[in-house]
Amino acid sequence: MSTTPDTPTGSKPNPTIIEAPEGTPFLDITRDFDAAPAQVFRAYTEPKLVARWLGPRDLEMDIEEYDARPGGRYRYVHHGGHLGEVRAGFRGVFHTVEADRLIIQTFEFEGVPNEVKLDICRFSEVDGKTRVTTRSVFPSMEAREGALASGMKHGIQDSMERLTELLAEGV
């Protein structure tokens, strides 16, 4: 995997940049949003809002638990769409939650147990927009490459587009 950013083609004003630096177990994601940091942070931490944007567009999400505070846990399940009858569960723990600034959490896809990654998500104001930068740290290069091969980039792109649409509603 190269360090070349993976950005969608076209003239979107705020593309999602996905970088998988060669030789590292990292995945870096950057996206600017036309909204205040508090608004974007709220979309990341309120369960009803998270369910509206996180994941591929064709899937539905059931949130079983979502307690965005230090030590809080989350678990949600994607289903429908391209998954058919399969239900894909995800879970983790919030380690750091600083309003409008930072979320550090673990993330585990239950279909690949014991492969927990760490997500560090920063919210900053840049030129009147909110820049969200996320570094995902995988336990190994193999885990990162497996996640990318599974269609993770598509899920990230869809999620960021859905979040843009949600924020445009003024939530």
Residues 3-44: tens digit of each pLDDT = 444 544 444 679 999 999 999 999 999 999 999 999 999 999
The CATH number of the domain where 156 resides is what? 3.30.530.20
Is the residue at 62 inside a domain? no
Give the whole-angstrom CA distance, residue 50 versus residue 24.
29
Residues of the chain with pLDDT under 70: 1-12
* pLDDT at res. 55: 94
pLDDT at 8: 47
Residue 142: partners with Cβ closer than 8 Å, 6 or more residues away: none
Structural domain containing residue 139: 20-57+98-168
The answer to whether residues 133 and 27 touch, using CB atoms and an 8 Å cutoff, is no
pLDDT of residue 81: 83
List 61's β-bridge partners, or say none.
78
Overall domain count for the chain? 1
Question: Is 146 part of a structural domain of the chain?
Answer: yes
Tokens encoding 27: 């995945």
